[in-house]
Amino acid sequence: MADLAIRNLVKQYDKTEVLHGISLDVEDGEFVVFVGPSGCGKSTTLRLIAGLEDATGGEIAIGGRVVNNLEPKDRDIAMVFQNYAIYPHMTVRKNIGFGLRTAKMSKADKDARIDEVAGILGMTDLLARKPSQLSGGQRQRVAIGRAMVRDPAVFLFDEPLSNLDAQLRTQMRLEIKKLHQRVGNTIIFVTHDQVEAMTMADRIVIMKDGHIQQVGTPAEVYHRPANTFVARFIGAPSMNMLSGMVENGELRMASGATLDLGAGLPEGREITIGVRPEDLHPGDGPALVRGPVTVREPLGHETLIYVGAEGQEVIAKADGRTPPQVGEEVTLTAAVDTLHIFDAATGDALR
Amino acid sequence: MIAAEIRPTTDALLKTQAPKKPANMGQILRWMLLFLGGIAMVMPIAYMVSTSLKWPHEVYNLKLIPDEPHIENYTYVLEDGRFYWWFVNSMIIAVITTVCNVIFDSLVGYTLCKFRFPGRYIVFIAILSTLMIPTEMLVIPWYLMSQQFGWLDTYWGIMFPGLMTAFGTFLMKQFFETVPDDFIEAARIDGLNELQIWWTVAMPLVKPALAALAIFVFLGNWTAFIWPLIVTNSVEMYTLPVGLSSFGDEADVAWELIMTGAAISTIPTLIVFLIFQRYIIQGVVMAGLKG
């Protein structure tokens, strides 16, 4: 086990810079999830940590040792790939034991280690099988087993659940989390699925266009997003963004309503107000949004309603038993302390 | 109402069945073409076997079934000591060349496919461009080279031009494209060196291509004629095709003996095909699934 430190990491392909000097400290035994849309640089960062690509600038240290110039095999890491990368011509035993080929261990010790890992993953009965005889979830377990068998300082997971169906993905998510609690190794996990990030991570690193947008616990990034990108990316359905202006110390909404948000907001500045659908509901408070219901999505215990206002569709949650009808004019309100305030120009959170 | 619902369904069924007749015609045409193709393939082999069972005076009679079939030709050829020499020569050359091609072509193909280095594309194009040079043009430089190195009338002289081929390199490079980079990278992280990755991870995954390459190279060398004829002088160094062509004298070609030798010489090629065909079929199936 070891900590991981990234300092001003830069990656260029020809003249295109895809990582713009990111820095991050991962503590020993921490489960950190990199999340972001396609092309944000999360997988590139992982590949740089693994040593599969060379960094253009900056430093990567594992366990206090700078590894920039080390081969992947010398970095004390193991990686689980999106497509599992388990070899179809080898049995499960050989696949799991593959990482031990170059280890200086006796065959008996290697076999014992493979059996131990297979036992942890519940695959003891499958050791003689070929990958083609395994289900998707079992193949994923073999890939994890191959990473585990070497007991690396850092585990790297590159979107390992994206090829699984929804049910299996939930199950494997749980298993990986349990595994982490059991073995306690440092894990860097890359995904584009914010639900995976929220449910598994000790800390989430949200990336966009080669920059880290925010690093924080799932609760922090959800409740205190650093900017509008993070606010929209984390949470489903996405946070609603409404526009307003600070006038005479009060926030004037496009709907005409005014909100007293207390002191500290810059006078005359255009503001973006973020409000999560679960905090926005039909009611009698200050009208954040007023408009007709365009679509209803009943979920049983509650109903999502889409309300047309300010040239966009605002999503709110209504009671599941007596939701407003489509076409009905509604007024949506939210408690002031649930609102997120962003600078409209920069998108950065103001409070 | 039920009838109204059923009617369109029945109509739809009738419509889908209607164009069946032309499809059948097309099928018959396809079968006929395949049959003719099959006949064209089988006839030379049938005539080869038929001629090997004929007496010399019957050879130019194009009857497929000989009037007096006999196996004297086989006895003659097999009792002729030279035949064994030529057979062994051909076998040594074909096997060594096949093994070398499988190793060298795949090594170069793998390197060109999986490594990024400056000039990679130029090297690949240069290798491919050699496919455009006809063998006849290369024979003289090969001969001069063999002469200067002292390779005339040796196994090495016969083999060296074919130990690696541009076609094999191209074939293997294309097949290595189907090996996911993840496999290579996973092995790299697991501590294998590049040669080990090539041998233990990449090679087993392209077995169908290796089998196809092995068959092509083996057949090509087993039946090679012009270069072995030029580079060999002594009868003991002849390969099977060169040796067989020497049956008979200047006045007459002993076709019945040549065909007998040819019939015997097809046996190893059949064995090679039978050994590797399942990989070839597997390769075709894989290619089909991907398509």
- Residue A185: name the closest of A30, A35, A59, A60 by CA: A30
B235 vs B247: CA distance, rounded Å: 12
pLDDT over 70 (residue B286): no
Coil, strand, or helix at residue B274?
helix
Strands in chain A per DSSP E: 4-13, 16-26, 31-35, 57-62, 65-66, 77-80, 154-158, 186-191, 203-208, 211-216, 240-247, 250-253, 258-259, 270-275, 281-282, 289-298, 302-309, 312-319, 329-333, 340-343
- Residue B82: name the closest of B273, B232, B250 by CA: B232
- Residue B239: name the closest of B253, B251, B222 by CA: B222
Each residue's pLDDT tens digit, A106-116: 999 999 999 99
Each residue's pLDDT tens digit, B183-232: 999 999 988 999 999 999 999 999 888 988 998 899 899 999 999 999 99
Average pLDDT over residues A56-68: 94
Measure Cα distances from B163 to A261, B51, B98, B111, B122 in Å: 82, 35, 8, 18, 22
Least confident of A9-23, A33-47, A136-150: A136-150
For strand A154-158 and strand A77-80, is the pairing parallel, antiparallel, or unpaired?
A: parallel
Q: Does the CB of B181 have a partner CB in chain A at under 8 Å?
A: no
Average pLDDT, chain A: 90
Q: Report the CATH superfamily, name and number, of domain B80-290.
A: MetI-like (1.10.3720.10)
Name the band, by pLDDT with cuts 50, 70 and 90, for residue B288.
very low
- Residue B76: name the closest of B260, B264, B249, B245 by CA: B260
By C-alpha distance, the chain A residue nearest B182 is A85
Nearest CA of chain A to the CA of B123: how many Å? 21
CATH 3.40.50.300-classified regions of chain A: 4-227
Residues in B touching A163 (Cβ below 8 Å): none
Residues in B touching A99 (Cβ below 8 Å): 190-191
Q: Class assignment of domain A240-343?
A: mainly beta
Q: Does the CB of A98 have a partner CB in chain B at under 8 Å?
A: yes
Residues in B touching A81 (Cβ below 8 Å): 182, 185-186
Give the up-direction half-sphere exposure of residue A100: CA atoms within 13 A in the CB hemisphere. Answer: 23
Predicted local confidence at residue B51, as pLDDT: 92
A2 close to A172: Cβ distance less than 8 angstroms: no
> Using the beta-carbon criterion (under 8 Å), do B190 and A101 form an inter-chain contact?
yes
Average pLDDT over residues B63-72: 87
Average pLDDT over residues B30-37: 94
CATH 2.40.50.140-classified regions of chain A: 240-343
CATH 1.10.3720.10-classified regions of chain B: 80-290
Report the Cα B12 to chain-centroid distance in Å: 49
Bridge partners (DSSP) of residue A11 are A19
Residues in A touching B204 (Cβ below 8 Å): 87, 89
Total residue length of chain A: 351
Each residue's pLDDT tens digit, A155-172: 999 998 888 888 888 888
pLDDT over 70 (residue A71): yes
Q: Which two tokens stand for residue A267?
A: 């006078």
Whole-structure pTM value: 0.79
Q: Which residue has the higher pLDDT, A35 or A150?
A: A35
| Cβ-based contacts under 8 A for chains A and B | 54
Amino acid at site B122: I
Q: Position of tokens 């690949």?
A: B124
Name the band, by pLDDT with cuts 50, 70 and 90, for residue B129.
very high
ipTM for this prediction: 0.81
For chain A, positions 176-215, list CB contacts with chain B under 8 A: none
Handedness of CA A38, A42, A45, A49 (dihedral sign): negative
Each residue's pLDDT tens digit, A250-302: 888 877 778 877 767 778 888 899 999 999 999 887 788 889 999 999 998 89
Each residue's pLDDT tens digit, A12-35: 998 899 999 999 999 999 999 999
Predicted local confidence at residue B283, as pLDDT: 61
Say which of A82, A85, A101 has its CB closest to residue B183. Answer: A85
pLDDT over 60 (residue B291): no
pLDDT over 70 (residue A87): yes
- CATH code for the part of the protein at A4-227: 3.40.50.300
* Percent with pLDDT over 90 in chain A: 60
A141 close to A120: Cβ distance less than 8 angstroms: no
Nearest CA of chain A to the CA of B198: how many Å? 13
Q: Quick one: angle between helices B20-52 and B255-290, nearest 10? A: 150
Measure Cα distances from A61 to A65, A70, B277 in Å: 5, 11, 52
Measure Cα distances from B94 to A18, B78, B224, B240 in Å: 52, 21, 9, 11
